């Protein structure tokens, strides 16, 4: 076992990071180190990727913001109250303890943000950290290691160039493989009630930003057939605002051959201007979609209705995200029946596009990718017996038939009041269709009755005139 891992194991056993003051000071030192190296960090991000300068700045700023979010959760007064809850005769039902050691295997996408937020989340929960960081000639891995070693307690963080075994880490550890929990596929739906220009700009930015590699970038856009043409025009206009990246320029020679192959598969290239490519599919098998496109392209397919969009979306395997652009009532219907892990209506948060996929066991948080509950385990403490526990204990001890009968009456009385279903409080999607049908039917009946009345009146008038 390496000496650095031995030191981390000893620190985890000693509970060195359990103290809330220690955790706060560690986060403060890390935050200050990031502030001091702002230009160097953004330069390294640009050097290791083909990101534009604003994209590197966004990754850096989101990292700072996440560290602030974690720091604000470490409330000293609340931590003191929770620690001494039992001493005051109070339950500590929400008490949690750190796992011990968090082993992080970083992703290659937005690696600076991804590593730093995982480190900050693990520190906030009170853990020591081991990062698997292979030897590299790139700037970011070297910079990340230097920043963390200079700002954090050296006994609480270690780096290994090759995978560490469970024996090296000890029994109290967990592993975070940031590329293991892939986000599946992401679908966007643009209804006829949507703001077309707003939807086009948001989808182009989500698909083409950060090299087109975001795990939450839309893989396919389902657009209503009534607005397909203006929507495609809006997509092309939005894509022009993104200048071509270096990787896109290098692929120009093979682009014509690839476009020809796609046309034979029923995929028509709408535009290849700007950062990526916009294509339209004449036919679509959602189950055959690749896990993630190999290049930055936005695939568009036409749908006839909301139900058609829902059916196609639910055919996509492992639908981890949905972006819905529609009027609120239509959006409610789409998000209710689309089986996505997370849905966003009429916006795509930039902070979701940066960083690794969220762990499956927690809901996606827009500001904090790793809630501290991921790095801790529940350890509740109770001192007060519940009323039910006391009553049952009395029955067992006294063996009184009357006490048991009283208990049965008490518990039964709580179920006497039946649950009443409330009256409908609004007009939903189907109700609108029913009311529309009834309205058209009523208009037809009313028109027929009026015509019959008019005919009867004219016949009576004719009869009077003859008489």
CATH code, domain with 325? 3.40.309.10
Percentage with pLDDT > 90 across the chain: 42
Q: What would the mean pLDDT of 135-156 be, rounded to a whole number?
A: 91
Q: How confident is residue 117, by pLDDT bands cut at 50, 70 and 90?
A: very high
Same domain, 132 and 194: no
> What is the rounded average pLDDT for all residues in the chain?
83
Residue 350, pLDDT above cutoff 60: yes
Q: What would the mean pLDDT of 70-95 be, rounded to a whole number?
A: 86
Higher pLDDT residue, 327 or 424? 327
Residue 101, pLDDT above cutoff 90: yes
- Position 219 in a domain: yes
d(CA 308, CA 310): 5
Same domain, 160 and 228: no
Neighbours of 280 (CB within 10 A): 19
Q: Which H, E and C letters describe the chain, residue by residue?
A: CCHHHHHHHHHHHHCCCCCHHHHHHHHHHHHHHHHHCHHHHHHHHHHHCCCCHHHHHHHHHHHHHHHHHHHHHCCHHHHHHHHCCHHHCCCECCCEEECCEEEEECCCCCHHHHHHHHHHHHHHCCCEEEEECCCCCCHHHHHHHHHHHHHCCCCCEEEECCCCCHHHHCCCEEEEECCCCCCCEEEEEECCCCCHHHHHHHHHHHHHHHHHCCCCCCCEEEEEHHHHHHHHHHHHHHHHCCCCCHHHHHCHHHHHHHHHHHHHCCEEEEECCCCCEEEEECCCCHHHCCCCCCCCEEEEEEECCHHHHHHHHHHCCCEEEEEEECCHHHHHHHHHHCCCCCEEECCCCHHHHCCCCCCCCCCCCCCCCCCHHHHEEECCECCCCCHHHHHHHHHHHHCCHHHHHHHHHHHHHCCCCCCCCCCCCCCCHHHHHHHHHHHHHHHHHHHHHHHHHHHHHHHHHHHHHHC
Same domain, 112 and 232: no
Query: What's the pLDDT score for residue 57?
Result: 94
Instruction: Identify the weakest region by mean pLDDT among 2-6, 199-203, 368-372, 411-415.
Output: 411-415
* pTM confidence score: 0.82
- Position 52 in a domain: yes
Instruction: Identify the weakest region by mean pLDDT among 9-13, 246-250, 357-361.
Output: 246-250
Instruction: Identify the weakest region by mean pLDDT among 170-174, 196-200, 231-235.
Output: 170-174
Same domain, 227 and 329: yes
d(CA 378, CA 360): 18
**Angle subtended by helix axes 38-48 and 20-36, to nearest 10:** 70
Same domain, 40 and 127: yes
Residue 257, pLDDT above cutoff 60: no
Same domain, 115 and 211: no
Tell me the Cα Rg of the chain: 31
Q: What would the mean pLDDT of 72-78 be, rounded to a whole number?
A: 89
Best CA proximity match to 145, nearest among 184, 84, 104, 185: 104
Instruction: Identify the weakest region by mean pLDDT among 257-266, 313-322, 387-396.
Output: 257-266
Q: How confident is residue 248, by pLDDT bands cut at 50, 70 and 90?
A: very low
How many structural domains comprise the chain?
2
- Position 439 in a domain: no
- Position 438 in a domain: no
Q: Please check whether residue 352 is in contact with residue 216, taking contact to mean a CB–CB distance below 8 angstroms.
A: yes
Q: What would the mean pLDDT of 205-228 be, rounded to a whole number?
A: 91
Same domain, 198 and 237: yes
Residue 270, pLDDT above cutoff 90: no
What's 142's domain CATH number?
3.40.605.10
Best CA proximity match to 124, nearest among 9, 6, 31, 5: 31
Same domain, 6 and 139: yes
Same domain, 171 and 264: no
Query: What's the pLDDT score for residue 463?
Result: 62
Query: What's the pLDDT score for residue 394?
Result: 73
- Residue 290 phi/psi, 5-degree rounding, is -65, 155
- Position 327 in a domain: yes
Instruction: Identify the weakest region by mean pLDDT among 1-10, 155-164, 192-201.
Output: 1-10
How remote is the C-alpha of 89 from its chain's centroid? 40
Residue 144, pLDDT above cutoff 80: yes
Same domain, 18 and 140: yes
Q: What would the mean pLDDT of 326-337 be, rounded to a whole number?
A: 94
> Domain range holding 208?
185-353
Q: What would the mean pLDDT of 261-267 be, rounded to a whole number?
A: 56
Same domain, 159 and 243: no
Query: What's the pLDDT score for residue 266?
Result: 62
- Position 93 in a domain: yes
Same domain, 191 and 170: no
- Position 269 in a domain: yes
- Position 448 in a domain: no
Boundary of a domain, candidates 314, 344, 378: 378
Largest alpha-carbon pair distance within the chain?
Answer: 122
Question: Residue 438, class by beta-carbon neighbours within 10 Å (0-12 exposed, 13-18 middle, 19+ buried)?
Answer: exposed
């Amino acid at each position: 076992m390496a000496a650095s891992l031995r030191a981390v194991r000893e620190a985890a056993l000693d509970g060195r990071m359990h103290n809330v003051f220690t955790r706060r000071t560690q986060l403060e030192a890390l935050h200050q180190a990031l502030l001091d190296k702002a230009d160097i960090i953004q330069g390294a991000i640009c050097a290791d990727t083909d990101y534009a300068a604003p994209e590197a700045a966004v990754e850096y700023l989101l990292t700072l913001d996440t560290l602030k979010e974690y720091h604000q959760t470490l409330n000293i007064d609340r931590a003191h109250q929770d620690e001494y809850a039992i001493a005051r005769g109070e339950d500590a039902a929400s008490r949690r303890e750190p796992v011990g050691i968090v082993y992080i295997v970083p992703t290659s996408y937005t690696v600076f943000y991804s590593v730093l937020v995982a480190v900050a989340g693990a520190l906030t929960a009170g853990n020591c950290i081991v990062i698997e960081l292979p030897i590299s000639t790139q700037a970011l891995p070297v910079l990340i290691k230097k920043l963390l070693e200079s700002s954090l307690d050296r006994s609480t963080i270690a780096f290994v160039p090759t995978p560490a075994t469970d024996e090296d880490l000890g029994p109290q550890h967990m592993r975070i493989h940031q590329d293991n929990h892939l986000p599946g596929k992401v679908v966007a739906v643009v209804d006829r009630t949507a703001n077309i220009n707003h939807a086009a700009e948001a989808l182009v930015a989500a698909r083409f930003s950060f090299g087109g590699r975001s795990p939450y970038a839309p893989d396919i856009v389902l657009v209503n057939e009534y607005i397909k043409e203006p929507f495609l025009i809006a997509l092309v206009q939005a894509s022009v605002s993104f200048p071509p990246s270096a990787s896109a320029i290098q692929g120009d020679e093979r682009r014509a051959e690839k476009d020809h192959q796609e046309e034979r598969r029923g995929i028509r290239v709408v535009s290849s201007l700007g950062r990526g490519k916009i294509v339209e599919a004449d036919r679509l098998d959602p189950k055959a979609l690749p896990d993630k496109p190999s290049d930055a392209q936005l695939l568009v397919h036409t749908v006839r209705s909301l139900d058609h969009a829902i059916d196609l979306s639910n055919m996509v395997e492992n639908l981890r995200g949905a972006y819905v652009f529609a009027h609120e009532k239509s959006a409610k219907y789409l998000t209710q029946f689309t089986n996505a892990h997370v849905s966003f209506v009429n916006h795509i948060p930039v902070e979701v596009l940066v960083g690794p996929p969220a762990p499956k066991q927690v809901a996606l948080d827009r500001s904090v990718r790793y809630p501290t509950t991921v790095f801790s385990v529940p350890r509740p403490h109770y001192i007060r017996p519940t009323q039910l526990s006391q009553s049952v204990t009395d029955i067992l001890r006294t063996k009184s038939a009357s006490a048991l009968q009283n208990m049965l009456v008490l518990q039964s009385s709580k179920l006497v009041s039946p649950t009443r279903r409330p009256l409908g409080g609004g007009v939903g999607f189907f109700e609108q269709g029913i009311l529309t049908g009834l309205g058209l039917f009523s208009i037809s009946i009313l028109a027929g009755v009026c015509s019959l009345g008019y005919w009867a009146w004219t016949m009576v008038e004719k009869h009077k005139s003859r008489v």
